[in-house]
Structure 1
Amino acid sequence: MKKIFIFLMAFAIFFPTIVNAEQAAIQNPNTSLQDTIDVFEGNKEIRNQNIFVPTKDGVQRATYEEALKIEEYKQKNLTELTKSYLLGDYKSGQILQSYNIDEVRPMASTSKLVSVFVVMDEIKRGTISKTDTVLIDNEAASLPGSSYKLQENDIKTVSELLEASLIVSGNDAITALAKYVGGSKEEFVNMMNEKCRELGLKNAHMVNPTGLTDYAIEDYNKMTTREMFILSRELISSYPELLEITSKPKIENPERNFIEYNTNPTLGITEGIDGLKTGYTNASGRCLIATGVKKADGEKTLDTRLIGIVTGCPNDWMRYVAANRLMSEGLEKYQYILVGNENEPEDVISIEDAADEKTNVYVKNQGSALWDGESEFERKFFYKPGLKAPIDVGENIGYVKYYMKGEEVLKLDLIVKDRVSQKGILSKIKNVYEDIFIKIDEAA
């Protein structure tokens, strides 16, 4: 009787696990026997859902539970998922979508972009080199949070520490860089604040190179979401080579048994993403400054880079949903398109005293405008007053403005490609007599 009781108890405990393993195998016919055994033994998650997510082991399919959670958050508005968000056009600086972007927000590790900006400026000035070596001290090696797992007395190059700062958000790496560049952490923070002033970020306030909350002074790095956008644009414009770093999926150092994946939850998931920086503290919530490119088609469109920012997300999955929605929908919708054609007439006009009744007008140079994927372009022509023949080839005679939803998006100069000759004397006499007869008829 006792043996039967023990058997029944064991069956009651393990039966749900067996059923779950069986259901997982049914959901995905490709599930191997070993996978099923692993689930039964509690060794492995079944990642078989038709959605990809960031994990500690890189981008993988979601588990059933993760997929359910993501679907739940997809039903929410961005204002429910974030404390602020912004989608902006890198080229023009135009803000395309936004919410609460002028409230000063804690930056957490997104403030490492300021630190990296300062380091890159010093490399550009020649005061340091990417090949310089940096000795890791106890303070850097002891920092909490995201880490490159540096040890005291390690020696790393500036280049390696830059990668660790951007890819895995290493607090140890950026602190070591800061002390190497500034001589002290305090002096480097002064350099960070000076950089923010140089960029016109009036609300920016930096207290350390990492973005960690300094509980000793109860303060942290901060700026508005609009200013984060300005910072990101300026950094990419000044040092586009940083995107070669931020687009890397992981850092792997076999010699010290280190492998960590990029903290960016949109990288490898939203098509076109190649940067930029995550952040998290209790004060900031989950943050992300993301950027990506929609490639040109080679005929009618140009490469289009967008920057998307979300701040204050309560958890990782909310950030994942918010950032991927903002960037994927933005890159799907917006595209720079070519406008005007130097080889085809933009307009046909009559010019006073011209030998020909009609004159073709062309744009001097082709332009481009950011298209929202649905709106029609409207044109308005503005010609110089008193246009009169003769007019030389290539002479500017006015301009055309293009509008989308009532807003001006482009202005192009107008020229003539053929000389506009003046009428001959016989034509002038003929016109004089025609005017006389017209006036007689009108008076009759």
Structure 2
Amino acid sequence: MKKSIAILLAILSLFLNINTYAINEGQTNQNNLQAANENLANPENEEPKEVRDQNILVPTKEGVQKATAAEAQEIRKYENYSLENLTASYLLGDFKSQKILKAYNIDEVRAMASTSKLVSIFVVLDKISEGSISKTDIVTIDRESALLGGSTFELKENQNISVEDLIKASMIVSGNDAITALAKYISGSKEAFVVLMNEKCRKLGLKNAHMVNPTGLTDYAIEDYNKMTTREMFILSCELLKYHPEILDYTKEAFLKDEERNFLEYNTNPLLGIIPEIDGLKTGYTNASGRTVIETGIKKGVKGKTADMRLIGILTGSRGDWQRYVAARRLMSNAFEEYKYTLIGGTSKALSNIKVTDSQDEMVPVYAKKEDYVLVNTKDSIEKDIKINPNLTAPIETGSSVGKVKYYAGGELIFESDLIVKDKVYQKGILQKFIRIYEEIFRNIELAK
């Protein structure tokens, strides 16, 4: 009997211990869960976010923002590099004169990546100008376009979208799907459109240009890609801006948004919103091309002193985004400081005073007959070379040429003009004095009318 009671008590004790363990384990699990929830809710336990507090503006996926400390450190590192070490080639040129101002390795044929979309969009805008298609035309996205990777507008098969929206997507976010859809809408196939691209390059005189698709992606099936020299990229950009300046209406946009599809992406241009003058033009990247960019911007003139100046900068083959950013920012920001279209010549200010035989006046002021805005480097001093015609004798009629003036900057002739007298040079003598008085009276009466 005692033995039976002892066994019963042992079983009961074991049962109670198991329950106590289960209760305690459950409580422990509950406490652990509560602690985990508290950790999730507690900001102090979150991963620290990047702090954008550096006084350097940089491009990000959320638009232009201040740099983080890590980004600023990268930028400072590459600022010590030369442009030659940051790029495979670079070019700075003036749009109006198409003069190349700075250059490095610009005649080597380079992979273009998405900068070749400038050829594609040139063809598209030509077709719009011809009336073959309209910006309001609706394009139905086919399967091939919708499946393209890389930079895209995230278009879906059978989606309907306007030609103009496809142009925006091609230029702002470098949409491979968008430019392919445009190409097939115009020509029926990519291959037929590429024929138009190569024809356009030939008409522009781009002898090294070779186009294989509308996007600039490497075609691994044929191991080929779009290419031309950096010099030719400059010519292409100048011609595109000359014939289709409306392209800047798209490339200057900071972002592309489609609320219906919840799409928002910022312009791929790394200098847009960072250098105020920048309003275009196109970026590119593939393994073959490296990071490439064609930048353009306009510096507004000051009336009576300087004229508007549009510059184009091209950089190819940078090994990373920060290298390209530092190189492009340096090239373009320095350019807008170094160059200007300055007013030279004209009759607002006398260039010299000369002696004329038998003149009533001891010295006669002379002026440049012509005036023009001339591109100069602000580091160069402008020098004048004035040559006066020999044996000048009064009288000399208003506006008559009395010599020539040539302007030089950095040792280069930049402007020349005839020298003229702005007012009539009268001969000595009492009678000539009376004639001069009456002529001036009548001239002032005419001016007062």
Q: TM-score band, normalised by the shorter chain?
A: 0.7 to 0.9
Matched length: 393
Work out which of the residue numbers 368, 371, 395 in structure 1 matches 2:373: 368
What are the Cα deviations for residues 371-416 of structure 1, in whole angstroms up to 9, with x where unaligned?
3222210112355677666544334455422111101112234333
Moved more, 324-333 or 392-401: 392-401
Provide the rounded CA distance (Å) in 2 between the counterparts of 1:386 and 1:177: 70
| Aligned pairs (5 A) from 1:10-409 | 37=43, 40-42=45-47, 44-351=49-356, 358-382=363-387, 391-409=396-414
Cα distance change on mapping 1:361 and 1:204 into 2, 3 Å: same
Point out where structure 1 has 5 or more consecutive residues left out of the alignment: 1-33, 428-444
Per-residue CA deviations over 1:323-360 (Å, capped at 9, x if unaligned) read: 11111111122122112242222233345676655433
Once the two structures are TM-superposed, the CA of residue 314 in structure 1 deviates from its matched residue by 0.4
TM-score using structure 1 length: 0.83
CA distance in 1, matches of 2:171, 2:259: 20
Contact 2:347 2:422 in 1 (8 A): no
Distance 1:209 1:74 in 2: 35
- Using structure 2 for the length normalisation, give the TM-score: 0.82
Contact 2:345–2:369, Cα closer than 8 Å, also in 1: no
Q: Deviations over 1:20-65 (max 9, x none)?
A: xxxxxxxxxxxxxx9x937x51273222222111111111111111
Deviation of 1:296 (Å): 2.0
Amino acid across the alignment from 2:114 = S
Aligned partners of 1:394, 1:234: CA distance in 2, in Å?
Answer: 39
* Contact residue 106 and residue 220 of structure 1 kept, 8 A: yes
**Partner Cα distance (2:321, 2:258) in 1:** 26
User: Helix, strand or coil: the match of 1:286?
Assistant: strand
Q: Provide the rounded CA distance (Å) in 2 between the counterparts of 1:192 and 1:386.
A: 62
**Corresponding residue SS for 1:187:** helix
Matches of 1:167 and 1:384, distance apart in 2: 58
* Equivalent-residue separation in structure 1 for 2:312 and 2:53 (angstroms): 31
Aligned Cα root-mean-square deviation (Å): 2.4
The one-letter code of the counterpart of 2:77 is E
Instruction: Name the SS of the counterpart of 1:148 in structure 2.
Output: coil
Q: Matched residues in 2 for 1:43 and 1:162: separation?
A: 40
Q: Deviations over 1:163-190 (max 9, x none)?
A: 1110000011111111122232222111
Rounded Cα–Cα distance in structure 1 between residues aligned with 2:91 and 2:280: 15
Which amino acid in structure 1 is aligned with residue 70 of structure 2? Answer: E
Q: Which runs of 5+ in 2 are unaligned?
A: 1-40, 433-449
Q: CA deviation at 1:229?
A: 0.9
Q: Is the 8 A contact 1:203 1:224 kept in 2?
A: yes
Cα distance in 1 for residues equivalent to 2:215 and 2:361: 70
**Identical residues among aligned pairs (%):** 59
Alpha-carbon contact 2:183-2:190 (below 8 Å) kept: yes
Q: Which amino acid letter does the alignment assign opposite residue 139 of structure 2?
A: V
Question: Structure 1 residues 231, 360: closer, same or farther in 2, change over 3 A?
Answer: same
